[in-house]
Amino acid sequence: MELSLPLLSVKNLGRQLGDRWLWRGVSFELRAGDCMGLVAPSGAGKTLLMRNLVVLDPIQQGEVRFEGKTPAEWELPAYRSRVMYVPQRAIALDGTVQDNLKQVFDLAIHRQRQFQPDTVCTWLKQLGRGPEFLNLTGSRLSGGEAQILALLRALQLDPQVLLLDEPTASLDAATTAKVEALLHDWLRQPERACMLTSHDTEQIRRVTHRQLNLGDFV
Amino acid sequence: MENNYIAIGYGQLALSALLILVNVGLSAALRLGLGRSLLVAALRMVVQLLLIGFVLEWLFTQDNALVVVAIALVMAAIAGVSAVNRTQRRFGGIYWHSLLSVLSASALVTGFAMVGIIRVQPWYDPQYLIPMLGMVLGNTLNGISLGLDRFMEGLITQRDQIETLLVLGATRWEAAHDQVRSAIRVGMIPTINSMTVMGLVSLPGMMTGQILAGANPIDAVRYQIVIMFMIAAGAALGIFAVVLLAYRRLLSPEHQLRLDYLEKAGHR
């Protein structure tokens, strides 16, 4: 396992707010099968690090590479379809859950794929939800339901690296355990890696193999 | 040239100024606190118009294309700057975007009207060029400020949706074209509304002026129709240009939403 090339490699990444460095010199690698916990006190810039990893904000210092190529070399939409960030605040787009899941296949980068209702329903079942979940209106979802939607919307696009920002913050304990099991299964596929933040240190210990403490890079 | 309208003397002007007392009186009676700003506004209006009257009188005797074009450029520049000044937010380059959009839209439309439609000789005859340009500019300015404002506010209120699409692999256009479209639509609405009710609810100022000056109403109406088409085209081109320029600035080639470029007006 250790011999494989890293999927994601981050070198010397730094982020400034005004004159103050939030963190700098952040370097790490995610290899196939890795699940890394990102820990730091709130306000330390965990979300900003994840945003930087998908270049949603400009990279001020350092470098990110996926399979050896920079995001610019991949072209951003292609890069983000492989290294997918799932923000903490899950946003439902217009329409039902199914519309939400289907409409991302209209994006140019995913057009060669197709919505797979069967796969989605299998996942839903694993999470203790029936197929009727697909007919709920996106804008009326509870916080937890929206998180499930956001997670499935990302999973169905088959990314190789998942960056999950507090993926279970709005979920009850039972569903949280099911999401963790689903992630565990997902990671067992080849060439997959994941990074996650959580306010729940127990969850970090349960789910991740190692941890990156942003506090070490101030 | 024989005038077939009643010229207004300075005494009569003074008499009309009495009408502002209606506003002042109302403001005083209801304690609206508007008295001072009303008087300042009235005074500005009178001074600006009297001055522009003298400028136009001088301008219409000019037979030099350069002078006329220079004046036209100044007018367009003022329109470009005012359009931005009415928006709530700013970003670096917004004034240039507005200037470029106003200039190109008004030059294209007015140029086409002068040379292609009305066929004025010479093409820069200030008696035609300046008033028509002024009308196109006024409306383009409105459209641009509405469209820009809507675009910037739309990006802010829809930020989460746009970034959700971006992280799912959308290009910047896929993520933001809804905002571009709705901004252009909002910018066009006043022009469409005014065309819809024109002649029924509103008698346009230019047409009224021509009729007062003794022009045949049918001729006046024809001018108005030409002007309205010019205004509609000018506004559409200007809004389209300014919103697309803002789009290219606020959605970077790296497919990022750069709301950090935006700042509230007056916070410079």
DSSP assignment string, B64-103: -HHHHHHHHHHHHHHHHHHHHHTSSEE-TTHHHHHHHHHH
Domain spans in chain B, listed from the N-terminal domain onward: 1-59, 64-264
Count contacts between A and B (CB, < 8 Å).
65
Q: B254–A154: do the CB atoms touch at under 8 Å?
A: no
Q: Where residue A44 sits, what CATH number does that domain have?
A: 3.40.50.300
Mean pLDDT for the stretch of residues B172-192? 96
pLDDT of residue A4: 67
DSSP type of residue B257: B
pLDDT tens digits, one per residue of A178-197: 999 999 999 999 999 999 99
- Does some domain include residue A3? no
Name the amino acid, one letter, at A89: R
Give the residue on B whose Cα is nearest the Cα of A52. B256
CA B41/CA B44 separation, integer angstroms: 5
pLDDT of residue B198: 87
CA A50/CA A110 separation, integer angstroms: 22
Nearest to B164 among A76, A91, A109 (CB): A91
Assess contact for B99 and B80: CB atoms under 8 A.
Answer: yes
Rounded to 10 deg, the angle between the B35-59 and B126-157 helix axes is: 140
Rounded to 10 deg, the angle between the B126-157 and B217-250 helix axes is: 40
B105 pLDDT more than 60: yes
DSSP type of residue A214: G
- Does some domain include residue A73? yes
B8 pLDDT more than 60: yes
A59 contact B CB<8A: no
List chain A residues with CB under 8 Å of B254: 55, 58, 71-72, 76
Catalogue the E-assigned strands of chain A: 8-17, 20-30, 35-39, 61-66, 83-86, 161-165, 193-197, 210-213
Mutation target vs A (from B159, B165, B166, B168; most A CBs, 10 A cutoff): B168
Percent of chain A beyond pLDDT 90?
Answer: 91
List chain B residues with CB under 8 Å of A60: none
Task: Compute the CA torsion angle B96, B101, B102, B103 (nearest 10 deg).
Answer: 80
Q: What is the secondary structure of B140-183 as a DSSP string?
A: HHHHHHHHHHHHHHHHHHTHHHHHHHHHTT--HHHHHHHHHHHH
Supply φ then ψ for residue A13, to 5 degrees: -70, 140
Q: B169–A57: do the CB atoms touch at under 8 Å?
A: no
Q: A80–B164: do the CB atoms touch at under 8 Å?
A: no
Rg for chain B, CA atoms, rounded: 22
pLDDT of residue A175: 96
Count of structural domains within chain A = 1
Distance from CA of B256 to the nearest CA of A (A): 5
Distance from CA of B177 to the nearest CA of A (A): 12
Q: B168–A107: do the CB atoms touch at under 8 Å?
A: yes
Assess contact for A150 and A100: CB atoms under 8 A.
Answer: no
Banded model confidence at residue B200, pLDDT cuts 50, 70, 90:
confident
- The more confidently predicted of residues A98 and B86 is A98
Nearest to B256 among A55, A86, A104 (CB): A55
CA A26/CA A45 separation, integer angstroms: 12
pLDDT of residue A1: 46
pLDDT tens digits, one per residue of A62-99: 999 999 999 999 999 999 999 999 999 999 999 999 99
Mean pLDDT for the stretch of residues B179-194? 95
Rounded to 10 deg, the angle between the B159-167 and B172-197 helix axes is: 140
Percent of chain B beyond pLDDT 70?
Answer: 98
List chain B residues with CB under 8 Å of A104: 165, 168-169
Banded model confidence at residue B3, pLDDT cuts 50, 70, 90:
low
Distance from CA of B257 to the nearest CA of A (A): 7
List chain B residues with CB under 8 Å of A58: 252, 254, 256
Mean pLDDT for the stretch of residues B199-216? 85
Residue A201: give the domain boundaries: 8-217
- Alpha carbon of B135 to those of B128, B220, B235: distances in Å? 11, 15, 11
Nearest to B163 among A56, A77, A110 (CB): A56
Mean pLDDT for the stretch of residues B127-138? 93
Assess contact for A134 and A177: CB atoms under 8 A.
Answer: no
B155 pLDDT more than 90: yes
CA B121/CA A163 separation, integer angstroms: 68
B169 contact A CB<8A: yes
Q: Which two tokens stand for residue A193?
A: 């890696």
pLDDT of residue A89: 92
3-state secondary structure of B10: helix
Mean pLDDT for the stretch of residues B233-254? 97
Nearest to A85 among B167, B256, B260 (CB): B167
pLDDT of residue B24: 87
Name the amino acid, one letter, at B233: A
B37 pLDDT more than 90: no
pLDDT tens digits, one per residue of B44-77: 999 999 998 998 899 888 889 999 999 999 999 9
Q: Is the ipTM of this complex over 0.85?
A: yes
Peptide bond just before A167 cis, omega within 30 deg:
no
CA B258/CA A62 separation, integer angstroms: 20
Mean pLDDT for the stretch of residues B99-126? 95
DSSP type of residue A15: E
In the predicted model, residues of chain A with pLDDT beneath 50 are 1-2
Assess contact for A55 and A44: CB atoms under 8 A.
Answer: no
Assess contact for B139 and B230: CB atoms under 8 A.
Answer: no
Of B227, B209, B221, nearest in space to B140 by CA: B227
B190 pLDDT more than 90: yes
pLDDT of residue B263: 94
B144 pLDDT more than 70: yes
List chain A residues with CB under 8 Å of B160: 87, 89, 91
B256 contact A CB<8A: yes
Q: Which two tokens stand for residue B168?
A: 């799912």
B188 pLDDT more than 90: yes
- Does some domain include residue A2? no
Of B132, B138, B143, nearest in space to B227 by CA: B132
Assess contact for B256 and A58: CB atoms under 8 A.
Answer: yes
